[in-house]
Amino acid sequence: MRSIATTKGFRAARRRRLAGTGAMLILALALLKSAEAIPQTAPARPPQNLQDTGLYADFESLRVDPKHLAFAPQYPLWTDGAIKRRWISLPPGTAIDGSDPDAWNFPVGTRLWKEFSFNGQRIETRYLERQADGQWLYAAYAWSSDGREAQLVSERGRSAAYPLAGGRSHAIPGVSDCKVCHQGGRSEVLGFSALQLSPERDPGALHTEARPDPGVDLNSLVEKGLLVGLPRSLQENPPRIAAGSATERAALGYLHGNCGHCHNEQGSLKNLGLFLRHVSEANDQPALASTIGQPVKTPAPGQSPDAVLRIEPGHPDQSGLLQRVASRYPALQMPPLGTEVVDGEAAELLRRWIAETDVFRRGARLQEKGGQK
């Protein structure tokens, strides 16, 4: 049902990024061509101004309505060093259905906001709202340079929204790009989930923001009656990534938060067989089993010829996955969208993890055998 938007969006995004690298585009399209075209209903229009989405109790002083709940996912998305703040609002008397721990169901009328600042300056605020027909509305609001106004950005997004290092600039994604990331799996909400809000936060997670105070996590949502149906096992044992070491836990968490929305078992990229999204029941074996010692399916332009494996245990420099994370060459870089500057801390973390995987490889393999369905 969602695949057409995803595919179209991905095509558009790749077309822009990959102008001149036709071979890569053909590869991406070949991977995606299984998606079918299904007509969609005309989308609702988001409000013209951010204040009309109801985020603020008082727009003059930018006081956020205290009824909204602030939250911070433990494995945030890297956006070139942007500082982010996030809020959720549920209609009075409603609750989230958490019975599927990997795809929560949000009531109609749920609203979510994510604000992006660079160097203390608000640049954009993104907005999601669940419509009566179950579809999500996507919008981005760009802040004026004096910070007094935030206006709806056109569906096509906005380039050069804020200058970054090395002559690059932050771009506000167009709606088709939002959907490539947000509609690539089972839930369109990506950072408000059991793992992301677990009270057992990973101390090694990269770029974490402090849990906002007041704010919500898994326990407080259940206590307030805002999350129902959460399996008892998750209430007793808060979700955490099972891993062979602290480095591996943080690395898998990073891959979940930054890659798993595209690379998972449901979305249009499933045929690639690269599964970086944490799945509650699977004990993380998909992310290990689909990377460690696994051949790169199609080498990307710019990848070194000795990188034949996605992860070559003990050899970070020969691991295709790390080469893609450490690059911003358009045809090679991962993620392909939403970032212009290499996440140096992530490259470093993945390097440490791959260097030590030698030690854990055997254990992972054994577990994998034992854990197969």
- We find the least distance from the C-beta atom of residue 273 to ligand HEC, in angstroms, to be 8
Nearer to ligand HEC, 232 or 328 (CB): 328
**Least distance in angstroms from the C-beta of 295 to ligand HEC:** 7
Burial class of residue 1 (count of CB atoms within 10 Å of its CB; 0-12, 13-18, 19+): exposed
Contacts of 232 (CB under 8 A, 6+ apart): none
Residue span binding ligand HEC (CB under 6 A) among the ranges 159-167, 190-198, 219-227, 231-239: 190-198
Q: What is the smallest separation between the CB atom of 169 and ligand HEC, expressed in angstroms?
A: 16
Residue from 2, 21, 69, 86 touching ligand HEC (CB under 6 A): that is 86
Task: Output the six-digit token pair for 241.
Answer: 């990534």
Assess contact for 300 and 324: CB atoms under 8 A: yes
**9-47 as b/e: b if 16+ CB within 10 A:** bbbebbeebbeebeebbebbeebbeebeeeeeeeeeebe
Greatest Cα pair distance in the chain: 59
Binding to ligand HEC, residues 312-341 (CB under 6 A):
320-321, 324-325, 334-338
List the one residue from 82, 189, 250, 364 that touches ligand HEC (CB under 6 A).
Answer: 189
Closer to ligand HEC by Cβ: residue 236 or 352 = 352
Where does this chain touch ligand HEC (CB under 6 A) — which range of 43-51, 123-131, 217-225, 363-371? 123-131
Residue 114 in tokens: 């994510």
Please identify which residue in the block is written with the tokens 């067989």: 273
User: Considering only residues 55, 95, 190, 222, which one is a binding residue for ligand HEC as defined by CB under 6 A?
Assistant: 190
**Region 87-116 residues binding ligand HEC, contact defined as CB under 6 A:** 112-114
Please measure the distance between the N-terminal and C-terminal CA atoms of the chain and give it in whole angstroms: 28
What string marks each residue from 148 to 177 as x (binds ligand HEC by CB under 6 A) or -?
-------------------------x---x
Sign of CA dihedral 348, 261, 181, 5: positive
- Torsion over CA: 301, 303, 308, 309 (sign): negative
For residues 254 and 360, which CB has a smaller minimum distance to ligand HEC in the complex?
254
User: Should residue 218 be labelled a site residue for ligand HEC when binding is judged by CB under 6 A?
Assistant: no
With CB under 6 A as the contact rule, the residue among 2, 122, 126, 277 that binds ligand HEC is 126
CA separation for the pair 122, 172 (Å, rounded):
13
Separation of CA 328 from chain center = 18
Among 46, 73, 239, 286, binds ligand HEC (CB under 6 A): 73
Residue placing its CB nearer to ligand HEC in the complex, 178 or 292? 178
Q: Is residue 221 close enough to count as binding ligand HEC by CB under 6 A?
A: no
Specify whether the CB–CB gap between 287 and 276 falls below 8 A. yes
- Draw the binding track, 266-305, toward ligand HEC (x: CB under 6 A; -: no contact): ---x--x-x---------------------xxx-x-----
Both structure tokens of 211: 């849990």
- Tokens linked to 38: 């299904």
170 contacts 123 by C-beta, under 8 angstroms: yes
Question: How many residues in the shown chain lie near ligand HEC by CB under 6 A?
Answer: 52
Give the footprint of ligand HEC on residues 193-212 (CB under 6 A): none
Q: Report the distance separating Cα 261 and Cα 234, nearest Å.
A: 22
| Residue type present at position 314 | G
3, 5, 28, 278: which one binds ligand HEC (CB under 6 A): 28
User: What is the binding site for ligand HEC (CB under 6 A)?
Assistant: 24, 27-28, 31, 73, 76-77, 84, 86, 112-114, 126-128, 138-140, 173, 177-178, 180-182, 189-192, 255, 257-259, 261-263, 269, 272, 274, 296-298, 300, 310, 320-321, 324-325, 334-338
